């Protein structure tokens, strides 16, 4: 390649088009990317090291910060790892509550990312509305857990506290409002908008083979017709008790992934309604004794759950001590954000680079850690 025909662009970290503090350095010719590489690591805090330095219980405060878009999955997967190694049973009501929290988190994450995607193609109205809608869910979180973003609510052995019935009613009201008012608005402004279709259809295509080969899951795979959902395949929490569908599409492009986000939210609403209807009574927490002295036997476990962007896994090792021996985080977008940028971004038009980055749900803190 003649060097003088190439132009280098630093797409991030300080660029309105990138998702978070993350960079893509790409070279382009004319208007097409010819080579690209990820410039990651701006958010590295050494979580895995810090977790080795903290008590089991203290880490529940640390884990949500790994992925700020969807913090609850971290709490959940951490608790699952702890319970798997320690072979701890969780009360059924806690399972239900966990699922409710996770689904609420999924909705807020999806609506936020739809807003972000819309902003990437210049539809700011949807971004504003989406962020507003998300705030209603954060209000519910605040009522349940006392915090807007980092809840520290799901913890080993169950959840921190029970949810009142009135709160359940509020959740149900909110679900009605979302379904009847917010989503139709979204449908009209975004999903029925010919321009949005034009910007997303056929863009940022990742095929099924490519996705499987690099280990991308979630919407990337489901947009290729593979109904892969860990909630169905390896049910955790209360997901074996609810009925829902896994939405799939066939084209593997940005448009399909965004439609999956929308359909996922509708499924989540369905799940939440079922969970609230069927929630059993009982305790919400197994007694594990003094929190500062939590100990589990030596062992290891790879636990994973379905985040909105795909498989989210922790590999946790305990040496029988007061602190974890090793925790390794497998973020859902790790393969895309590091490997996928180099392999699949070239050939994309520069106008579609933000579409690429945003529709694939790249969340840098989960691979910077």
Partner 1 sequence: MRNEKELLELINVHLEPQAVEIKREQNVSVELAPKNLIQALSFLKSHSYQHLSTISCVDWLEEGAFELVYHLFSYDDYINISLKTRIKREPGIFQTAKEIWPVAEFYERDIHEFFGVEFKGNDNLEEMILENWQHLPPMRKDFDTREFVNDQYEWRDYNGQKHTD
Partner 2 sequence: MNNNFVKGSWQEILDWAQNKSINMLHYCTGCGAIELPPTMTSRYDMSRFGIGPAATPRQADLLLVTGYLSTKTLRRLIYTYEQMQAPKFVVGFGSCTINGGMYWDSYNTIKQLDKYLPVEMYIAGCMPRPEAILDGLLKLKKMINNGEADGYQRYQDNLEFYHQNQEAVLGEVQRTQ
Partner 3 sequence: MLTKYIFVPAAAAFAAYILNKKNKKAGATITALVSAYLLLSLALIYGSWELNQSFNLSLMGYQLEFLMALTPLSWLFAVLTSAISLLIAVFSIDSQADFKFSSVFNLNFLLVIGSIMGVLFARDFLTLFIFWELMTWTSFYLISSGKKKMAGRAAYRYLILSAAAAYSFLMAVIFIFQQTGSFAFEPAAEFLLNNSAPQSILLLLAISLPFWVKAGIFPLHVWVKDAHGNAPKEFSPFLSGMLLKVGFYGLIVVFHQLSFFKIIENTIAYRGLPLLSYLFALLGAVTIITGTILAIRQEDMKKLIAYSSISQMGYIIIGIAIATPLGFSGSMLHLMNHLIFKSTIFLALAAVIYRTGTTKMYEVGGLIFRMPLTFAAYLTAIIALAGIPPTNGFISKWVIYQALIEKGYLFLALAAFFGSIASFMYVFKPLSTVFLGQLKPQHQEIKEVPLLMKIPMLILIGVIVLFGVFPGIQMNIISQISGDLGIETVNYSLYSIQGAFGAWNSLYIFNVFAAGFVIALLVFGLAKKSKLVGLLDTYSSGEYVTDAESYHYAYQYYRPFDRLFDNLAAKSLTGFYETLTANLLKSGESFRRIFAAGRVQNYALYSVLLFVILAAVGWII
Instruction: Tell me how far apart the alpha carbons of residues 140 and 137 are, in angstroms, rounded to a whole number.
Output: 5
Least spacing, CB of residue 167 vs partner 1, in Å: 32
Of residues 223 and 329, the one with the C-beta less far from partner 2: 329
201 lies in the site for partner 3, by CB under 8 A: no
Quick one: which of 230, 238, 356, 209 has its CA closest to 304?
230
Q: How far is CA 246 from CA 168, 183, 228, in A?
A: 25, 19, 8
Per CB under 8 A, does 234 bind partner 1? yes
Closest to partner 2 by CB, 91 vs 120, is: 120
Q: For the chain, give the longest Cα–Cα distance.
A: 70
Comparing CA positions, the residue from 105, 94, 98 lying closest to residue 264 is 105
Site string for partner 1, 67-106 (x = CB under 8 A): -----------------x----------------------
The residues near 70 (Cβ < 8 Å, ≥ 6 apart) are: 105, 106, 108, 109, 307, 308, 309, 363
- Phi and psi at 342, nearest 5°, equal -70, -40
| Shortest Å, Cβ 18 to partner 3 | 8
What is the closest distance, in whole angstroms, from the C-beta atom of residue 315 to partner 1 in the complex? 4
Query: In the complex, what is the shortest distance from the CB of residue 176 to partner 3, in angstroms, rounded to a whole number?
Result: 43
Regarding 39 and contact with partner 3 (CB under 8 A), the answer is yes
337-356: contacts with partner 3 (CB under 8 A) = 349, 351
Is residue 333 within 8 Å of 363, Cβ to Cβ?
yes
Contact pick of 315, 322, 349, 350 for partner 1 (by CB under 8 A): 315
Residue 21 touching partner 1 (CB under 8 A): no
Listing DSSP states for 47-60 in one string gives HHHHHHTS-TTTHH
Looking at beta carbons only, is 39 or 145 nearer to partner 3?
Answer: 39
CB closer to partner 2, 42 vs 270: 42
The entry of partner 1, partner 2, partner 3, none that residue 20 binds, CB within 5 to 8 Å by partner kind: partner 2
Q: State how far the Cα of 97 lies from the Cα of 238, in Å rounded to an integer.
A: 9
Give which of 359, 358, 106, 62 is closest to 230, Cα–Cα.
106
How far out from the chain centre does Cα 110 lie?
Answer: 8
Q: Does 4 bind partner 3 (CB under 8 A)?
A: yes
Structure tokens at 146: 């006392």
Please report whether residue 1 would count as binding partner 3 according to CB under 8 A.
no
Q: Taking the complex as a whole, how short is the minimal distance between the CB of residue 21 and partner 2, in angstroms?
A: 5
> Judged by CB under 8 A, how many residues of this single chain contact partner 1?
38
Applying CB under 8 A, the site for partner 3 has a residue count of 22
Q: Which of partner 3, partner 2, partner 1, none does residue 215 bind (CB under 5 to 8 Å by kind)?
A: partner 1
Cα(165)–Cα(174) distance, integer angstroms: 14
27 binds partner 3 (CB under 8 A): yes
Residue 82, token pair as written in the block: 């702890």
Contact positions vs partner 3 (CB under 8 A): 3-8, 10-15, 23, 25, 27, 29-32, 39, 349, 351
């Amino acid at each position: 390649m003649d060097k003088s025909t190439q132009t280098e662009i630093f797409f991030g970290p300080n660029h309105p088009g990138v998702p978070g503090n993350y960079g893509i350095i790409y070279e382009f010719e004319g208007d097409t990317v010819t080579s690209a590489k990820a410039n990651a690591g701006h958010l590295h805090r050494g979580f895995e090291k810090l977790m080795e330095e903290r008590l089991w219980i203290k880490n529940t405060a640390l884990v949500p910060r790994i992925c700020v878009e969807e913090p609850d999955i971290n709490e959940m997967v951490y608790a699952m790892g702890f319970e798997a190694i320690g072979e701890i049973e969780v009360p059924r009501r806690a399972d239900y509550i966990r699922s409710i929290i996770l689904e609420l988190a999924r909705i807020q994450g999806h609506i936020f990312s739809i807003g972000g995607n819309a902003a990437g193609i210049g539809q700011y109205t949807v971004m504003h509305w989406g962020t507003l809608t998300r705030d209603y869910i954060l209000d519910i979180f605040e009522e349940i857990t006392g915090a807007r973003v980092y809840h520290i609510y799901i913890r080993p052995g169950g959840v921190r506290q029970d949810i009142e019935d009135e709160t359940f009613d509020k959740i149900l009201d909110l679900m009605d409002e979302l379904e009847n008012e917010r989503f139709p608005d979204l449908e009209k402004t975004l999903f029925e908008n010919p321009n949005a279709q034009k910007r997303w259809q056929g863009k940022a295509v990742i095929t099924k083979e490519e996705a499987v080969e690099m280990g991308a899951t979630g919407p990337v795979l489901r947009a290729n017709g593979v109904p892969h959902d860990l909630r169905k395949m390896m049910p955790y929490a209360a997901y074996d008790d609810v009925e829902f569908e896994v939405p799939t599409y066939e084209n593997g492009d940005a448009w399909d992934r965004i439609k999956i986000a929308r359909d996922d939210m509708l499924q989540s609403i369905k799940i939440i309604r079922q969970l609230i209807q069927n929630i059993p009574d009982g305790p919400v927490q197994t007694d594990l004794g003094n929190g500062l002295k939590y100990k589990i036997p030596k062992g290891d476990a790879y636990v994973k759950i379905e985040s909105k962007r795909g498989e989210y896994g922790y590999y946790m090792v305990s040496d029988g001590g007061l602190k974890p021996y090793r925790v390794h985080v497998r973020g859902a977008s790790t393969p895309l954000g590091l490997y996928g940028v180099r392999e699949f971004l070239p050939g994309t038009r520069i106008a579609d680079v933000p579409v690429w980055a945003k529709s694939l749900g790249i969340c840098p803190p989960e691979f910077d850690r």
